[in-house]
Homo-oligomer: A and B are copies of this chain.
Amino acid sequence: MDPTDSDIVRVFSLNCWGIRYMSKHCQQRYVMIGEMLSIEKHDIVLLQEVWSEKDFLFLKNKLSYTHPHSHYFKSGVIGSGLAVFTKYRIHDTFLYRYSLNGYPYMAHHGDWFGGKAVGMVILTIGGRTAHVYVTHLHAEYCREKDSYLPHRVVQAWELQQFIRHTSAGADLVIVGGDLNMHPQDLGNRLLRSYTALKDSYLETTLYAGCEDGVTLIANNPFINKKELGPFKTGIRIDYILFKGSSKIDIHCDAMSVTKGSVPNHPFPYSDHEALTSTLRLKSHQPDENLHCTDFLRTSQDKHNEARTEVKVGLHCTERMRYTAARTGVMGLALLLLQLAIAAVPWLALGAEQPFPKTSFYLLALLCFAILLTTSLLYVFYTIELKCLQGAEDQMRLCVGHLQERLRGFPLAQPHNVLQCPLP
């Protein structure tokens, strides 16, 4: 069978770094991105960090002929930053907001305000139902001392859950986005092993791009080389993943990643590199080479590792909540003490003792601020604790189920690895 138009799907993914007035050359870069997309005419375009809806509308207008169907996912204070453009009609969409996503008081990191999420759109490609996901996980600001690691592990856990539970009716699944995780990071292994998604970079026949498929590279003029740390040439944190089903097999024929510059332009599209995968769909060929038992065993190891990470996060959050509570109680005690001091001269009417009003009110203001801040923090840490506990519970349940499957292993559907670990 010769490949027809609908048998080849070209997928594009880019973190646009679109913080208006803060990201360098933001407007010009959107013009460049719009022009490139309208020339390249990818079938599916998955964009992240399109923080401003105005920029989305600019692209929507620019791509109205080449990509008539689009969706912008709204979430959080600023937005999720996720956008999809495609030539296929979008039948349905669904958004899942990650339960944990940094801290509101870490405003300079800004992740909390972004409302990180995973968006799904359902398309029909040549009569086949495609579930396409776009996501952006919490950034890693310091690899050595990464206080957001439990958050990112929980996000990866929720991402695999969301994909797994919402893709049962799909003929093919495509996931694109900035996972903010290196290929061998725990969250990435969790995601790939649980969903059986394949990595375009690892599966492709032809590859064009920097060595090791890096997508955050030292050659990009917007990158601060210090931030790359020991990874001198760059890191791979953006991905296009895919999988077929019992009906469809997918193969990645080609993959390309930009190299930090764009011909005839003074700067690249973004601080991240752009990814393009050419996927070829064909009717299913049963694959007999799956080793489900090994698969279950490695899944179990990943599970235990993830639970440990989440437990570390739990202890940290408990400690922080305790500190907030203690500070709050101290603030309250000080406020009450002040009230008592203030009450004394008023009770002893006519004593006319000198009363240090200025320092009194300043101190009261301070106590009040402490009380309010610690109360808000206490509520926030409680929510975080519940989310971490919830994820840990779910992981424990899955480990139990995996152990059960390992004991008496019935090799149910050898062609679908998804059916192996979980129903």
By a beta-carbon cutoff of 8 Å, the part of chain A in contact with chain B is 71-77, 79, 89-97, 99, 104, 115, 120, 122, 124, 129, 161-162, 165-166, 168-170, 357-358, 361-362, 364-365, 368-369, 372, 379, 382-383, 386-387, 389-390, 393-394, 397-398, 401, 404, 422-423
Contacts and interface: CB of A to CB of B under 8 A. Distances in A.
A241 to B, nearest CB: 19
A21 to B, nearest CB: 18
A364 B96 CA distance: 42
Contacts of A97: 97, 99
B77 A390 contact: no
A164 to B, nearest CB: 8
Contacts of A364: 365
Contacts of A361: 357-358, 361-362, 365
Given A93-B397, A361-B357, A99 B75 contact: yes
Given A358-B361, A386-B115, A401 B92 contact: yes
A393 B99 CA distance: 22
Nearest to A167: B168
Of residues A74, A76, A357, which shows the largest number of chain B Cβ atoms within 10 Å of its Cβ? A74
A416 to B, nearest CB: 11
Contact of A389 (B74, B115, B124, B422): B74
A110 to B, nearest CB: 13
Contacts of A129: 423
Nearest to A380: B77
B115 A401 contact: no
Of residues A72, A166, A364, which shows the largest number of chain B Cβ atoms within 10 Å of its Cβ? A166
A79 B386 contact: yes
18 contacts: A71-B393, A73-B390, A75-B387, A90-B397, A91-B422, A92-B398, A93-B393, A93-B397, A95-B390, A97-B97, A104-B379, A115-B386, A120-B165, A122-B423, A129-B423, A166-B168, A168-B168, A168-B170
Contact of A379 (B71, B77, B94, B162): B77
B166 A71 contact: no
A92 B423 contact: yes
Given A71-B397, A169-B168, A383 B161 contact: no
A386 B74 contact: yes
Contacts of A77: 379, 382-383, 386
A165 B94 CA distance: 8
B386 A75 contact: yes
A382 B379 CA distance: 20
A83 to B, nearest CB: 12
Contacts of A387: 74-75
Of residues A115, A124, A394, A423, which shows the largest number of chain B Cβ atoms within 10 Å of its Cβ? A423
Nearest 7 CB-CB pairings of A with B: A168-B169, A361-B361, A74-B390, A168-B168, A74-B386, A165-B166, A91-B423
A94 B386 contact: no
Contact of A393 (B72, B162, B386): B72
Given A76-B383, A92-B423, A372-B372, 15 more contacts: A73-B390, A77-B379, A90-B397, A92-B398, A93-B393, A94-B161, A94-B165, A95-B394, A96-B96, A120-B165, A166-B168, A168-B168, A168-B169, A357-B358, A364-B365
Contacts of A79: 386
A365 B358 CA distance: 12
A122 B398 CA distance: 11
Contacts of A404: 89
